[in-house]
Amino acid sequence: MPEAPEALVEHDLLMHTSPRILKDWYFRQGDAQVRYKAQPRYRLSSGVALYNAAVQGLGICRLADWLAEPAVQAGRLVRVCSHYRLTSSTGHDPQIHAVYASTQLPQRVRAFLEAIKSAARKRYA
């Protein structure tokens, strides 16, 4: 299994078709950030299909921790480049997205979103 981003070139990569921002994969090790221009062998339009393809051994892909971790713990998936942290282009952890339909959020929803942001800052500081 690849231990560094540059070793990914020797492996089949799987990528979601939709998010253009994920074409380049960014890895952080300490203060250094490495940009890897992913060239996928397969592009899939479903996150579930991407997960299943990885579990079936068709290639390496980016998956959210909440989705991948149970399969990692069960031995169905293996982390690659484990000495690196996968980040966004700005160096942040791209794990959580809050989506809502209105700009007029109830106070309880705003409080919930603030609690999530606070917890994420503490965890990924």
Confidence at residue 79, expressed as pLDDT on a 0 to 100 scale: 93
| DSSP string over 83-116 | TSEEE-TTS---------S-SS--HHHHHHHHHH
Is 0.75 topped by the overall pTM? no
User: What are 8-27's pLDDT values in tens digits?
Assistant: 999 999 998 876 656 889 99
Count other Cβ atoms within 10 Å, centred on residue 43: 12
Q: Characterize the bridge pairing of strands 42-44 and 14-16.
A: parallel
- Residue 44: beta bridge partners? 16
Alpha helices in 26-93 (DSSP H): 47-55, 65-73
Count other Cβ atoms within 10 Å, centred on residue 95: 14
The residue-averaged pLDDT of 31-49 equals 91
| CB contact at 8 A, 47 and 67 | yes
User: What are 62-83's pLDDT values in tens digits?
Assistant: 988 888 999 999 999 999 999 9
